[in-house]
Structure 1
Amino acid sequence: MKDIENGTKLAIIDMGSNSIRLLLGTFTNGEWHNEPKTLWTTRLGKRTTEGLLSDESISASLTALGEIKSVIEAYGATAVHGFATSAVREAPNGQEFMVEAAKVCPMEWSILSGDEEAIWGFKGALVDQLPSGKHYATIDIGGGSTELALGSKDGVYWSKSYPVGAVRFQHISEDGPQRVWEETQFMWDPMPIKGEFDEFVAIGGTATSLAAIDLGLTEYDGTKVQHHKMTRERVEGLVMDLRYMSREERLEVPGLPAGRADIIVVGAEILTSFMDAYEVPHVFVSDKDGMEALQQELL
């Protein structure tokens, strides 16, 4: 996609381990003007004992993609790009799923490596801050994996993808408080910061949901979530509040999506482990991520 014309409408689909997300945007006067992201919870990350994408998750995802196709057509997007992350890249039938996905919802698609996922997330989250010349780090806690990236306006010079996610570690969290923290605390690699450092930025559904809960949002608003500051103490407080709630009680919590009610504690415990390992007192949450990075790549 080159020489994008004024008025071009674009759809980007992110097929993750917990949900499939859709970003719609129109290119006007040299920049993208985006609609709020929408998502469908399909749990691609809950695979069979053989590591395959399950029939149930495939069916739910293809149904969601059928609905997404209708939304895209109603919006009038003339280009559709999709990418898949850990659930699909790790599954032996991941490629087969993507072929079927593109039949249901025609798109140009790719399966991102862990490093690509980390780099795209970094670029999308920090596009407005990188001109400062300072160095930043991102953490992207997904359903199946967690990506870290470190870099500056000159690019990402260190990244790492860990097989740790809110869906993947759900059974560990059910073993009791601190189990996820104990499993992950000593796995984080040293972060080789090479210049003047500014902020740690958290992206992905865990981070944005925690921010929405902290803000008490009855309806998700990415503009309010963007740059919201979450301290280590506050994240731990939310973990303690949410862990001992029933699912019904969690569904009443403002800001907590129904599709994340059973895994929000897991994701938050991964975040506290990261913050403790690197002695991070707070993170800033970004509503922008790899989807926005793909938009910029297309330019």
Structure 2
Amino acid sequence: MKLAIIDIGSNSVRLLLATYENNEWRYEPKQLWTTRLGQRNTDGTLRDESMEASYQAFTDIQKIANEYGADYCFGFATSAVREAANGLAFMERINTYCPMEWRILSGAEEAMYGFYGALGNQLEDGRHYTTIDIGGGSTELALGNKDGVYWSRSYPVGAVRLQSISDEGPQRVWEETRFLWDPMMIEGEFGEFIGIGGTLTTLAAIDLGLDHYDGTKVQGHKLSRETVEGIIMKLRYMSRDERIQVKGLPAGRADIIVAGAEILTSFMDSYEVPHVFVSDQDGMEAMARECESTHSNC
């Protein structure tokens, strides 16, 4: 079975092509289109420019999925779409560009899929883990073990949403988020904090100095609190032209990476987290596995 999984996020639309054969998964490198759905109109609706950029992405995705021979095409949308009054109409129009089944995820669902996608078989060790997913429009936390997620939160802070606040000064994101994080009650032996999503994978790629993004190198990369702060200090006072010369930093994320990294340091300080391990795998892989097991609904 071949699947095309599409993540319709606040900063970008991402595509995962996956094949399930002989009880094994083979994932192709994820592809990305920067669309900025999270930069909405003053009334909260999705902007025409962002929707048009997304429709072009879906046109490209349909061609790629057809060439791949995908049996099913499934899309899921997150905070930008679920918060917008015209989000449903936007999703309904997608099918004119790329026919697919789709869902708009709640914050709790987004956190849960990210948790299972990132951890997978690692949960078999019986320990408890926490995932943090810093997206363009929201940040999701999930805590659980092999028996399931028993605590999760979705916060309305993301790299796109807080970009303008971050631009005001080096303490502004901290001031905005320092009272945000809820107490986390861990109910057993704890493993690690796992970071997923574009902010975390980009920070890992920068730390690794990757000329070209390589998920196999990003997977499992350890980011300390000091390393993240160092990247923030390095990038904050660079121009955009200077930032896009930094290895590991794609142009589509150059203007929002500092805001995303500052959300991460706020989280790490609040929970006294010395480091996180980055996962290239996230909710897209979890969604692929769900579609394979219930393909009649996908």
Normalised by the shorter chain, which TM-score bucket? Answer: over 0.9
Can you list the C-alpha shifts for 1:153-188, whole angstroms capped at 9, x where unaligned? 000000000000000011101111121111101110
* Secondary structure at the counterpart of residue 127 of structure 1: helix
Matched with 2:72 is 79
Matched with 1:206 is 199
Which of 228, 239, 248 aligns to 2:221? It is 228
Is 1:286 the counterpart of 2:279? The answer is yes
Which of 100, 123, 130 aligns to 1:130? It is 123
Which of 168, 175, 178 aligns to 2:171? It is 178
Matched with 1:105 is 98
Matched with 1:120 is 113
* Secondary structure at the counterpart of residue 104 of structure 1: coil
Report the Cα offset of residue 28 of structure 1: 1.4
* Secondary structure at the counterpart of residue 64 of structure 2: helix
Report the Cα offset of residue 295 of structure 1: 1.4
Matched with 1:92 is 85
Q: Mind listing any 5+ residue stretches in structure 2 that lack a counterpart?
A: 294-298
Which of 65, 69, 72 aligns to 2:62? It is 69
Is 1:18 the counterpart of 2:11? The answer is yes
Matched with 2:290 is 297
Report the Cα offset of residue 128 of structure 1: 2.5
The one-letter code of the counterpart of 1:276 is: D
Q: Distance in 2 between matches of 1:105 and 1:75?
A: 14
Q: Distance in 1 between matches of 2:216 and 2:178?
A: 32
Which of 246, 252, 255 aligns to 1:253? It is 246
Q: Distance in 2 between matches of 1:67 and 1:295?
A: 20
Q: Kindly, what percent of the aligned residue pairs are identical?
A: 70
Q: Distance in 1 between matches of 2:152 and 2:107?
A: 9
Can you list the C-alpha shifts for 1:106-138, whole angstroms capped at 9, x where unaligned? 100000000000000000000031000000000
Is 1:155 the counterpart of 2:152? The answer is no
Q: Given the two structures, how large is their TM-score scaled by the length of structure 2?
A: 0.97
Q: How is 1:12-51 mapped onto 2 (pairs within 5 angstroms)?
A: 12-51=5-44
Q: Mind listing any 5+ residue stretches in structure 1 that lack a counterpart?
A: 1-7
Q: Distance in 1 between matches of 2:207 and 2:217?
A: 11
Q: Distance in 2 between matches of 1:44 and 1:22?
A: 16
Runs of 4+ in 1 over 2 A off after TM superposition: none
Matched with 2:263 is 270
Which of 117, 137, 153 aligns to 1:144? It is 137
Q: Distance in 2 between matches of 1:203 and 1:27?
A: 23
The one-letter code of the counterpart of 2:145 is: S
The one-letter code of the counterpart of 2:40 is: R
Q: Distance in 2 between matches of 1:175 and 1:277?
A: 22
RMSD: 0.6
Work out the number of aligned pairs and report it: 292
